Every structure is written in structure tokens, then in C-alpha cells.
Structure 1
Amino acid sequence: MKIKISLAICFLSLCFYIGFVYFSFDSKDLFKGTYSKVLLDKNKEILSVFLDANEQWHLESEFIPQKLKTAVVLYEDKNFYSHYGVDFLAIIRAFKNNLFSSKRSGASTISMQTIKLLEQNKRTYFNKFNEIIKAFALENAYDKEEILRLYLNNAPYGGNLVGVASAGLFYFEKDLKNLTWSEAALLAVLPNNPGLINLEKNKDKLLKKRNALLDRLFEKGYFSKDILTLAKAEKLPSFKARKNLAPHLARRLLVDKEKVISSIDKKIQIKFEKKAKEYSYKLHQKGIKNLAILLADTKTNKVLAYVGSNDFYDFTTFGQVDGVVAKRSVGSVLKPLLFAFAIDDGLIAPESLMLDVPTFFSNFAPQNANKKYHGFVSAKESLQKSLNIPFVGLLSEYGYEKFFYKLKDILNYEDENFKKYGLSLILGTKEFSLEDMVKIYLGLGNYGNFKEILYEENTSIKKDKKLISDGASFLTLQTLKGLDRVGLKQYDFNTIISWKTGTSYGRKDAWAIGTSPKYTLGVWVGNFNGEANANLYGVSIAGELFFELLGLLDGLNLEFKQPDDLISIKIENQTGYRYDYRFDFKEALYPQSANVLRISPFLKEIFIYENKEVNSLDENFIYAKKKIILNLPPNAQAFFAKEKQHLQSSNQSLKIIYPLNNLNIVLPKDLKSKQKLLIKLINPENEKLFWYLNQELIFEGKEENLALDLKKGKYNLNIISESGMNDFINFNIF
């Protein structure tokens, strides 16, 4: 007998030498590439997990709780912390039993079982010898805690579950750090009997094994008698199907990665997904099927919640479409950006008056959403009321090409065709994503510093672009903070938010986006298939969801701090532009780093003699008196005259408002394949007019509008009044 034992020791010594000399393990994780793809939140809690290449749920855990370590070592390999990969006494005992007894026993240590899990070889004597040799090498390359972690992360746990983290998730729906002693004991015995948990007839055997281990743990003094009683009373679990959180983001980030620690806050994500699901029921009653939500931390630009659709698993409503990155018409959501750019360019201050009257910009005649006009309105009120005409006019002055490339600088799109969109760009004719719009509002919330949106916790912003002054950003944020919450008073609470809504042309998209010192939130509502819906309004549909989501957050009672860049300047108090000695003035905040505010485009200094305007060539000019009057374009004169707002203005004379001179016109066809051209003009003296088209008299009368049925060709229109005033234009019909 002593000879046999000596031979065994010599054999094992040889194995140790072979393992040490010939085998090494270079990879930190031998099982790298075999795990399921998994998306974690910023606290490393599981959001989404996917089947691996073997159709198994195979999760890796970096943390193994002490309870589980204690239970596994006691059950599987009680000498684990004292041997060097092979338990000599256990092998001798097994060798003896297998020779002289009908009762078979194994002697695999946790290290040997780890090698077995790695290589997945059949149970033969040669493979057992291979496991012994490589166990020595494993012990040489890794410390005990790492070997135990490798084993538990790759052990089978019944069905298609591999790894203790998978078992914790699908059996107990909890993180391993929260395991009870009963659960730890169950997870210790399962790898030895993984098939038992799926066989109802064998559950009693599994229960006995778990309770037997609990008894041993109690005898070792790991817990009290009361805990033992409670642990044995816990029922065995069953497999619990689960749905992934933030599945759209997981699919996006895990394309070429096995595991990503995202910046998502799991608690907020759960709340937002639940709210999205609840709100979608209300939307479905109105025939609206889809929505998307994006929440970011304003200071870090890291995304905290990502809801690509109200139900990823609903194929009937295209739930797998990612609404965060889908390009849609953004309506009026870009107006705050132009507002800030225009302040820095010296075009406006928030108090500056703008014209909201029927206006033709070449062939483009924008209208406000409510089809009403306000005449003179401040830039601040224009933004708060989201008036289209003042902002199209502002873009015309700022330059749509310049605005297009400023947007490109922020959003990095490839499009170069600014002419395709023209002045309608500010009304949402170029499509952008919810991600794009949240990036813009994050830039405003960071005082004009535009940065990339971050989705991973362990990343940081490499660079930013300073495109708006601190002062212009603050003035824009303050203006948006005063946006009227019509119909949304019940969501006010103590919420302080600088926000904007938008509704696309044709009612296909509704938006609500806002920023605060802590959060920046964007909401899109619509139909992924592009179907229009009369109920789609930014305020009432997207805005309602926007404020319900804000109600789930804290820290929304913070104000943006006024920057040092703002100074007090004098502006003339009639139209709100740069002050000079000719006008009364008032004080206003304006960015010190912005271009000098321009003088008013609506005021003009003239000289009057005997109630007539005269110039320096007039012989009575030396007797004339200076007077400040409104200098309005013809379309504004026509509007105020029609509205009976008698504003004293110069140059009130006969004027053709539309078409503009040298305009090329393509007339759309109506149901009868014909469309008339509507001529518009101003006739301030209400005189009889004579209309000449290509030198032929076509109409006499006082009308200011006339519809002409014209064929393709070149035209000259000349209109003469009874008093001799006249105006003419050339235009082409295509």
C-alpha cells in the first residue's frame, strides 16, 4: 500500500513539473469571446443581455459575493485555498475507492473543473490527466480568487444558463451582491446537478442537496439557527423570462463589443420605459403609434435614459426602429439656435421688434401655425409664440447658407446642399434626429459650448466648439424659460426648464425639447411609417409626455446663472434696437462679446416742410424740420392699412408686393390641372388702377389682389394709378 501511495506522489510530482514547464495562460480571461453580449448601466447593473453564439445566456460577473465563495468552496473543494491545483489526498482517496469499492468518487478540484469547462472534453482518463497537468499551470498563472471567479462565470446552471450571474438574473432576478444564504447554497450545488432544476420530479433531490449544504454551513458557524430555518424555508426558483432595458441602445453599442458599461441610470431608465408604455396607450387612442425619448446630463453630456420606441418587441408598430436616431422633420425646434446666433451677430436683442405680417420671400410665403399675424412683435415674444414669419425674415437677414453651415459644424452631417432648403430650413424642412436636437439643446445649456453626446460611462469629451457667447445662450435660455405652458399647468410643480416644442409640416412629427442645469430632455412623438395625424401637436402631445417625464426627476428647481459676459446697454424704446441721440432709450442686457447691435431697420429720419418730405436738393430744405418716422416695407404698409393701424410711414405709394421682380414661377396644378397666379399689391390712396400685362390693358379697378390665368412664358406687368403713380415687374412662368 505504501508503494502505491509513493507511486501516486511521484506521478503527481511529474504532472506538476510538466504543467509548470510546458503550459502557460497568457489571457487574463481564458473564456474571453464566449460570453453573451451585455449592456450595463453606469453602476454596472445589467440593462440588456443577448444569447451567445451557442444560444446560451452566458454572463460574466467581476464580483463574486463572499457568501457564494464560502458555499462553493465548502461544497466543491474544501481544500481549495491550500492545494496547488490538485488535491493529492482526494486523488489518493478516489483512486483507492475506485480500486477497492463499488462506490465511485471524483477528485476534481475547482481548478481542474475550470480547465474542463474551458476545453469541454469528454470524460476519459487521458483528459483527466490533461486537466491535472493544466491545473498546475492555471494555479501558477492566476491567484485563487481569479480561478474561483473563472469557474463560477463559466459553470452550467441548468437549461441554457451558463455562469453564476446568468443564474442570479434568470432565477432570482437580482444582482449577486444581494444573494441570500439559501440562494448561495443553491448556486453552489447546481453546477454539479444543473439538469435537476428543469425537472420537476427531481426538485426534491435538489432541495435535499441545498439543505444539506446549508446544514454544513451552519455547523461551520457561518450563520445562526434562525437564519438556517429561514434559508431552508425558501422555495426553489424557476426560470424567469425577462425583457431587456434600453434594447435600442444595446443593439447600437454592442455591434463590435462584448460588454459595455453605459452611462444609463437604470432607475431612471425603468421609470422612463414604464411611462413611455403607459403614454403609448393614450396615443394609440388618437391613432399615434410611436414615440422616442432621450435624457442627458447637461454638465457631462452623458445619456441617462434612452427609449428608442414605446415597445421594442411590438413588430406591428415597427417597435425595433430606433426613434432616437431616425431622421424626421423638426418643425420649430431650431428657432432658439437662430435666436442666439442672431443676437451674437448684432441683428437683434430680445426686446427688438420684428415684423409678423404676410410676406413673400421670393416664391416662399410662410404662414404662422394659427394663420394669424401680430404686426410688430418683439424677438422674445416671437420665439415664445414660435412665430414663423419673423424667424424666416430673421434667417433671411442672418443668411440661410451661414446658418446651414453653423448647423453642420454642430451636427457633422455630410449634406452640402444648402440651396435645397433655403429659408424654409428654419421651419424644419431638413430632417434631423432626436439625438441631433438634444445635442443642440445641450450646447445651449452649456452656454454655447457644443460637444459630442456620450453613451459610455468611462468616456470623456475630447473637445468642444464654442459657437455662441455665454450671454446670447443665457438670453435664449431665459426666453425659453418663459414659454407659455398652455394646457400643461398641471405639470408645472417647481419645474424650471428652458424648453421648446415643434410640429412638423403636415402634422407628422411632434417635438418637445428642453434643458436645465441638471438635465436635458428630448421627446419625439409620431408614426415611424410617416403617417400624418391631426392630433400631432408639439405642445399638447409631445409637451404632455415631456412634463410627465420631468415629474419623475429631481433637481429641476435650479436656475441657469447669469454669466459675466452680459452687460447693460441702451436701446431705443420704440423698436428696441441700438440707441442714438435721436430717440428715447431703455436699458437691456446684451452680450459684451457680441457684434454691436444694429440701428433700427424700421425707423427713418426725414425732413418735413409744409407737411411734405423734402431732401437737400429742395430750395426749402433749410426751413425743413427733422422727424423720425416708421420706414416700413410695402407688405407691412398693406397689412397695417388693412388692419386699420394708421402708422405714420414714409414711401406709402403704389407697390406690387407679389410677384417680385425677375421672379421665376412654377405654378402647381390643381384638380383641373390649372392654377392661377395671384398678384398682390398695395394701393394706399385707394385709387383706380390700370393693369397692363405685356403692354395690353387687362383690368381697371381699385382691387389690390387679382388672379391671372397664365400660360408658360415671359411677362411684364405695369400698374398705373389715376394720379400717375406706377410700379412694374418682369417675371417668368414655367
Structure 2
Amino acid sequence: MKSAILAFLLVAYCFCLPNPLFKDATATVITDAQGHLLGGQIANDGQWRFPYSDSIPNKFETCIIQFEDAYFYKHPGFNPISIFKALKENLQANGIKRGGSTITQQVIRLARKGQKRTYFEKIIEIIMATRLEFSASKRKILTYYASNAPFGGNVVGLDAASWRYFNRNASQLSWAESATLAVLPNAPSLIYPGKNQKRLLEKRNRLLSKLLENSKIDSLTYRLAVAEGLPQKPYPLPQSAPHLLQKVAKTNQGKRMQTTIDAKLQKRVNYIVNTHYNQLKQNEIYNAAVLVLDVKTRQVLAYVGNTPTDKAHQKDVDIIDKPRSTGSILKPFLYAAMLDAGDLLPNTLVADVPTKYGSYTPENYNKTFDGVVPASLALSRSLNVPSVRMLQAFGLDRFHHYLKMLRLKDLKYNANHYGLSLILGGAESNLWDLCKSYAALSSTLNHYSDNSSTYFSNEFCEPTFFASEKVNFGKITPDKTIFNAASVYLTYQSLKEVNRPESDESWEFFDDSKQIAWKTGTSFGFRDAWAIGSTKGYVVGVWVGNADGEGRPGLVGVQTAAPILFDVFDVLPNSDWFAQPFDAMQEVSICKQSGHRASPNCDDVTEAFIQVSGLKTKPCPYHVLIHLDKNENLQVNTSCEDVGNIRHQSWFVLPPLMAHYYKSKNPFYKALPKFRADCLGENSVSMDFVYPEEDNSVFLPKDFDGETNALILKIAHSKPESTLFWYVDELFVGSTKMIHEMAIIPIAGKHIITVVDEFGNTATRKIEVDL
């Protein structure tokens, strides 16, 4: 029986400690890559109690042992002499006068919170304290105490107390500060910074005197320590990355998480955002977000989810992962996709003329047209009409498939839902996904150059902001992931040029010392402004706008987001430009004027490296060989001129509508010479409407006299000297020669405009007139 009882007591002793010892809710704490505190979120019970720390500073360890338990490293969990002295004093005083508890016993009492301070409870503490001494080292017991001791108010634990009372890490505290914290748990409800300062000062100085007496500190350190003042009130915890803290707390609540954030960079980016916010709010633009990624590691280096605005303007909303209209920010992906597929060369001419697809009529920002423009320039200038025409030529479903491979999670619908407006902001995405995509493009080039012209299978992966996570780029493979290296390089070459969407504002933001591939974007209604840029080492993404979606005049990417982008790049290290991926390229002859592969008729040719897939593009269609008389003024053929007198010349010829707009900005463009009158078999002619557009609705206003203004019809003809005959609903209204414009005043309703030239060629337009 005795043995059974003994065995029971032994088992009970072995399992008397709760597991875990402390179950209290803790604050969520994030640090930077070096362990510096970025911010904390208070525990669910309203206490500033940091997660358990397995380290304790030497100064605090010395102070707490000298103050609470000088024989800590010698006793088995309780100190019989201290207990005897305490019992004697308490009996003489007829009450609790002295505790006599060791640090180990105090750890047990903290774990068994709410228990009355009775002699029976003291016996239980002693038993459990000895058990704790068997299962944990002295050092670990000290860390238990430091992490759970009360320090006044709602501050629990050394780490929280050092930040709340001294605004720095516990390892950075002075002797005076460490002594101050060491005496607080003795009576945390009576004495703490801001309350009973005199008694607190006396207790601290007594401890410092004891440290001097026991040779723990020297006399100079003592004099300096007692001269230090006391903290007057708690400091707020650092909040360098509050929105990242929110994100971390969703999946790691109550934990201490080391992030990849660079604290110095985060502080600088915060300052940049705050500075621009003070300017932007003058125009009632209240929100902005910035994300900085390391291309090589795909780690987040800075995370600013919003401006320091107020709650009325949703300062707590993390914009970085919120879907917003993309504006023009997807255009580089279309350009890269067309290069990758071999549908385009970098400077291939793209039409920039009035365009209409059904009811959709894209317009350039400045409402003008260039006729034709090199594709790379269309991208760097962010021209809308060429972009829509490129998307229509490439294929909406085809481009949508590329975007899905980029894993843009806010692209939730099929291609037909977005239509051709997809390239101009018809879809939504977020700053996180867009930055990770640009980082993947940059990393594709870096890996291709660093790994013998090979790719990684998981290049387009998720970035990370946890220091414990390492991004897995997958296996080395000879096959591209999405875009080949040459297409990315040529896209970046275009984006490296000054990005002037429609004006000169961006020139002042261009920094010659840093080669940056960057792109801006502005959503319809001036609701979202974007700027994303990349160097070989870093990607910076910026969004500016209002969280509630309110548009504002001047909320344009190049005016609001680009200045922030370049300010952030200014505080980042310089890096070399990307190495050219020659193994993915082929040197070919290019027609300088058209950007196509040179045909035999091209007279101005240069050698250039293009993506290998571009070899399947057609030769230049715009240069033709024409035959001129000996004076080179008129076209001739063998029907009217001897072969020996005919001069052969290459000529750059655009279709009439393109030529009409092109020559307005290119005064040296020369139309084809006329045929000599005595020649037979003239070349074919062509014509096209300049205005109105197909299926266009036309409103005719009235002037001050109440008279309806005329509708001016306009057409471009390859032979302006030809006579054109105009009809409205099969009714002849007149003819034109050289200048092909016709003024009419039609009645309200639908009409068909027909134009016939003297060679029998016909052009028609359907319009609807509203008076």
C-alpha cells in the first residue's frame, strides 16, 4: 500500500507541471531581417505581452538575481533560509510581511495565476518549483520569468517593458534602465513609470548600490547610473510596417516573426511616402502604397501598405493586395508576348489611326494620331490606339492565356468579359502580383545570363516576407517558363527609354545615372495611378489614388506615382544593366524606317539582334520599287518610256489613312509621284475615310444664329489629284479634287455615305446623326 501511494505521489510529482507552462495570449511581433523591432499588435487579452524569448540580457540577469534571488544558481528551487526568515517575520507581524520566494517559485506563481497567497499554496509552489528545476535549466527558468513577469499597467515581460518604457531592445538597456525594470515586478501595481516615481527611484538606487557593493559594477558606472532619470510614461511601440504586421497577424497571431524587411530602407520609404502624401492630399488624393522586392532572392525589402492618412480615408486598409484597375501597366506583357510569339519585332510599325471595334473606340491620351509608330515607341509612350490594335492582331484569348500564366489572381473572368479594353485597364490586379511579375521578368534575364543560357522552372513564383522562407525557383531547364529571355530583354530596352505617355512631365523624373526599366499606368476616370520599375537588382512598385475609388484630376501615373518611384530608386544601390542574352537572339538586317526585316527594296538597312522567334516575321511591306523618268519627277513604265531612260528607286509608302496622319507629324514624308499622263497600266489606287468613323454617332450643334453646323466629311486618297464623287443615301451631293472634304447638313437619323473616285473605287461609311 505504501509503495502504491509512493508510486502515485511520484507520478503526480512528475506530471505536476502544466504543459505548456504558460498559455497566455501574446502580442504579434515582427522584426526586420536583422532582428530589429518593426512593430507589434497587442495580445487578445489587452496585454503587451511579447512571445516567449529564450534569451536574457546579462545586465538584466545580474540585476534581477541581485534584487530577487541572490542564491538563484545554488538552490534547488526554494531557499530554506529565506523561507524561515519570512515565516518568522510574518508570524511576528501576524500577517504577510515578507515572501521569501525564489525566482523559480515566482515563475510557478505566475503560471498559476489567480491563486491566493496562502501557506498551502506556498507548499504547492515549492513542490512544483523543485520539479521545474529538474526539467529546465536555470537559464531557461530565468527566461520564463523575464517573459511573464508583470511590469506595471498592461505591460508584461521584459521585451515589452523595455520597448514601452525605454523605446529600445532589452539588450541595449543601460545599468540604470535594467535596474529599473528589475525592481518593477516586485510591486507592479503600485510602482511603475509615471506612478510613485519617488519610491521607484529609491528602489532602483538601492539595487544599484547593492550592485556596487557586490562588485557587479564599478564606482563610475554607479555614479552615472544613479544620475539617470526615470521614464515618465510608456512609449508607443514602433510601427514601421503596420500593414505588413496586419498581414502577418492573419496567419501567425501571437508569434514573433522575423521578416525580410530592411529596417533602414523601410524607414526611408516611409519618409518618401509621407512627404508625397502631404503634397497629394492638397489635391484630395489620400492613399498610396509602395512595395520593394529583391530580384535575386524575391524577398520583400520594404512594405508600405498605405499613407499616414486618417480613418476617414481608410488609413488601415492595406492597398498592396487590393484589386485596382490596371490602366496601362499590362502593356509590357503584351509587347513581350508578341515578341515571344514571333508576331512582332521591336520597332515594327504599328498603325496609330482612328480605330473602332464595334462600339469600342480607343483614344490616345492627347487625342491625336501618329499614323504609324514603332512598337517600342508605342510602349514607351504608352499609346492606347496602337496597343489595342496590337492586342486585336495578337488575339484576346491568346494574351489572356499569358496573363493567367503570370498568376494574376484578380484576373477572374474569361477574355470576352474584358474585351479589348483589357490592355487599357479593363481588368483589375494588385500591386503585389504586378511587382512579382516584373521581378520574375528581371530574374529570367539574370538566371539566363548566370546559368549558361538556361531557365528555372518556377521563375514566376510568389515573393516572401518571412526570413525563414527561401524562394524555390525550381529546376534548371532549357525551356522558357513563359517569356524567352530575348523578349524580356527587348521589352526592357523599350521601357528603359523615357516614358512620356503624352506629355513632358516624365523628363524631370528620368535619372541618367540609373538604368531603370519602368512603366506608368492610369486607370479610366483618374482613379488609379501606377508606376513599376526594375533594375537588375530591385523591383519597385507604386500605386497612388483614393481607397474608396474616387477619381481626381491630375491623378496620372507619370505625375503622382512616378516621382515616388524614382525617389525610392534613389535610396537603393545602383546596379548594372541586364546582360544581353545573345544565345536567344539572332542578328539580322532590319529596315530602319519600318522596323521590319529588310526586304530587297529597303534602301536604309541596319544590323540588329532580334529574338529568334522573330525570324518568321514578314519582310518590310512598306518599301516598294518604283520606276521614274530620267528627271525622277514622274512615274513611268515601258509603255511610255525607253528602258534605258527609266530610273529605279525604293519608296516608303503607307496606306492612305496612315499616311494622312503620319505626314502631319513627319513633314519629310513624300507621297508617291504621279504617273506620266501618256503611260498605261497605272498602279492601283486606294482610299479610306478619315472622318467619320464606321458606325459613328454624330451630334450637330447649332451656332448662335440657331443654324445647324455642317458635318465635314473627309477622306484620304492615294492620288489626291483624282476626282471624287460624294453621295448621301445614294443622292449625289458634290465632287472634290486635291482636298477631299465635303460639308453636308443631313437630317437626323441613319445615313450611308458613299464616295466613288474616277477609277471606280468605292468607300462607304454608316453614320447616325443627332441634331
Q: TM-score range by the shorter chain?
A: 0.7 to 0.9
1:330 and 2:363 correspond: no
2:349 aligns to what? 353
What are the within-5 Å matches in structure 2 for residues 279-678 of structure 1?
Answer: 279-311=276-308, 314-410=310-406, 411-413=408-410, 415-447=412-444, 449-463=459-473, 466-483=481-498, 486=504, 489=508, 492=511, 494-553=513-572, 555-565=573-583, 566-584=585-603, 585-592=605-612, 594-600=613-619, 602-603=621-622, 630=652, 632-640=654-662, 645-648=669-672, 651-656=684-689
1:77 aligns to what? 69
1:109 aligns to what? 102
The counterpart of 2:146, out of the listed 139, 148, 152, is 152
Residue type of the partner of 1:393?
Answer: R
Q: Distance in 2 between matches of 1:107 and 1:16?
A: 26
2:677 aligns to what? none
1:432: how far off?
1.7
SS in 1 for 2:189: helix
* Aligned positions, number: 705
Q: Distance in 2 between matches of 1:56 and 1:641?
A: 73
Q: Distance in 2 between matches of 1:100 and 1:659?
A: 109
1:109: how far off?
1.7
1:705: how far off?
7.1
- C-alpha change, 1:372 and 1:625, in structure 2 (3 Å) is same
| 1:662-714 deviation line (CA, Å, top 9, x unaligned) | x8x59599999x99999764344353323253xx427434455778979888x
2:60 aligns to what? 68
| 1:301-335 deviation line (CA, Å, top 9, x unaligned) | 211111121116x1122212222122222322222
Q: Distance in 2 between matches of 1:170 and 1:130?
A: 34
Q: Distance in 2 between matches of 1:117 and 1:91?
A: 19
Q: Distance in 2 between matches of 1:242 and 1:543?
A: 32
The counterpart of 2:25, out of the listed 30, 34, 38, is 34
1:691 and 2:727 correspond: yes
1:388: how far off?
2.1
Q: State which drifts further: 163-172 or 285-294.
A: 285-294
1:163: how far off?
1.0
Q: Distance in 2 between matches of 1:493 and 1:626?
A: 45
| 1:105-150 deviation line (CA, Å, top 9, x unaligned) | 2122222211211221222233222222222232232222222111
Decide whether the 8 Å contact of 1:359 with 1:635 is kept in 2. Answer: no
Q: Distance in 1 between matches of 2:7 and 2:181?
A: 35
1:164: how far off?
0.8
- C-alpha change, 1:129 and 1:692, in structure 2 (3 Å) is same
Q: Distance in 2 between matches of 1:542 and 1:295?
A: 14
- C-alpha change, 1:669 and 1:608, in structure 2 (3 Å) is closer
What are the within-5 Å matches in structure 2 for residues 166-315 of structure 1?
Answer: 166-198=160-192, 202-237=196-231, 238-242=233-237, 244-257=239-252, 258-259=254-255, 260-311=257-308, 314-315=310-311
1:170: how far off?
0.8
1:723: how far off?
4.3
2:129 aligns to what? 135
- C-alpha change, 1:581 and 1:548, in structure 2 (3 Å) is same
Residue type of the partner of 1:278?
Answer: T
- C-alpha change, 1:204 and 1:586, in structure 2 (3 Å) is same
1:24: how far off?
4.5
- C-alpha change, 1:330 and 1:165, in structure 2 (3 Å) is same
- C-alpha change, 1:412 and 1:256, in structure 2 (3 Å) is closer
Residue type of the partner of 2:760?
Answer: G
- C-alpha change, 1:56 and 1:604, in structure 2 (3 Å) is same
Q: State which drifts further: 627-636 or 383-392.
A: 627-636
1:8 aligns to what? none
Decide whether the 8 Å contact of 2:599 with 2:619 is kept in 1. Answer: no
Q: Distance in 2 between matches of 1:329 and 1:678?
A: 37
Decide whether the 8 Å contact of 1:19 with 1:137 is kept in 2. Answer: no
Decide whether the 8 Å contact of 2:755 with 2:763 is kept in 1. Answer: yes
1:287: how far off?
2.9
Q: Distance in 2 between matches of 1:637 and 1:396?
A: 21
Decide whether the 8 Å contact of 2:656 with 2:717 is kept in 1. Answer: no
| 1:149-184 deviation line (CA, Å, top 9, x unaligned) | 111111111111111111111110001111111111
Residue type of the partner of 1:109?
Answer: T
Residue type of the partner of 2:490?
Answer: L
Scaled by the length of structure 2, the TM-score of the pair is 0.82
Decide whether the 8 Å contact of 1:676 with 1:710 is kept in 2. Answer: no
1:627: how far off?
7.5
SS in 1 for 2:98: coil
1:524: how far off?
1.5
1:700 aligns to what? 734
Decide whether the 8 Å contact of 1:351 with 1:379 is kept in 2. Answer: yes
Q: Distance in 2 between matches of 1:446 and 1:678?
A: 54
Decide whether the 8 Å contact of 1:39 with 1:48 is kept in 2. Answer: yes
SS in 1 for 2:291: strand
| 1:2-23 deviation line (CA, Å, top 9, x unaligned) | xxxxxxxxxxx99995764332
4+ runs deviating over 6 angstroms: 13-16, 606-615, 623-627, 641-644, 657-660, 668-672, 674-680, 705-713, 729-734
2:454 aligns to what? none
Q: Distance in 2 between matches of 1:524 and 1:494?
A: 24
Q: Distance in 2 between matches of 1:183 and 1:707?
A: 90
Decide whether the 8 Å contact of 2:149 with 2:156 is kept in 1. Answer: yes
- C-alpha change, 1:67 and 1:625, in structure 2 (3 Å) is same
1:99: how far off?
3.8
CA RMSD of aligned residues (A): 3.7
Q: Distance in 1 between matches of 2:392 and 2:684?
A: 23
Scaled by the length of structure 1, the TM-score of the pair is 0.86
Runs of 5+ unmatched residues, structure 2 = 1-5, 446-458, 475-479, 674-682, 703-707
1:233: how far off?
0.8
Runs of 5+ unmatched residues, structure 1 = 1-12
Decide whether the 8 Å contact of 1:447 with 1:474 is kept in 2. Answer: no
Q: Distance in 1 between matches of 2:699 and 2:24?
A: 62
Decide whether the 8 Å contact of 1:19 with 1:136 is kept in 2. Answer: no
Decide whether the 8 Å contact of 2:688 with 2:717 is kept in 1. Answer: yes
SS in 2 for 1:521: strand
Residue type of the partner of 1:249?
Answer: L
- C-alpha change, 1:691 and 1:119, in structure 2 (3 Å) is farther
Q: State which drifts further: 573-582 or 214-223.
A: 573-582
1:6 aligns to what? none
1:98 aligns to what? 90
- C-alpha change, 1:107 and 1:729, in structure 2 (3 Å) is same
SS in 2 for 1:195: coil
1:726 and 2:762 correspond: yes
Q: Distance in 1 between matches of 2:743 and 2:242?
A: 58
SS in 2 for 1:529: coil
Q: Distance in 2 between matches of 1:707 and 1:254?
A: 69
Residue type of the partner of 1:590?
Answer: I
Identity of aligned residues (%): 33
2:678 aligns to what? none
